[in-house]
Amino acid sequence: MEYINYYKSPLGQIVLSADDVGLTGLWFAEQQNLSSKINEGSIIKELPIFKETKRWLDIYFSGTEPEFTPNFYQTGTDFRMSVWEVLRTIPYGKTVTYKDIAETISKRKGLTNMSAQAVGGAVGHNKILIIVPCHRVIGTSGNLTGYAGGLERKIKLLHMEKEAHGNCE
């Protein structure tokens, strides 16, 4: 059974989804293709995982890095899973490039190279925004590229994190 709930953030309403195992999704309500992320028959319900995730979001949006991570899981291809694993290692307030992620995965798998564009595609399929910090990934030239929640939100999230660390530019 899939359950959903909502969180009112400073950047707009966030939809949370979960099943009996843990959190399965976190995205902004206005995102494109939102309807494809919510299963028909999902039940709106307050679950312990939603309370925990909302507490995490409260801490995060207060400008502090949360010291815990809600129980979540992701499903996808081996490649996507490896990209999402790297995303989870990006420190709060820092950014990496798609190319950096491609190089990290290449080294782990013993490959000579990997496509940064393929990494971008996997990043774009992340269903647990903010907690799996895909907003911390930028283009090789330093450009802010693509974010399912919208570039304006990406800018605000990055600014908030950098400001919290006292190194806002």
Provide the annotated active-site residues.
134
Cβ–Cβ under 8 Å, residues 131 and 87: no
| Residue 70 CB burial class (10 angstroms; 0-12, 13-18, ≥19) | buried
Query: For residue 28, which of 18, 14, 17, 38 has the smallest C-alpha distance?
Result: 14
Long-range contacts of 76-82 (CB under 8 A, 24+ apart): 76/122, 76/125, 79/118, 79/122, 80/122, 80/125, 82/108, 82/109
Query: For residue 93, which of 11, 158, 169 has the smallest C-alpha distance?
Result: 158
Q: How many residues does the chain have?
A: 169
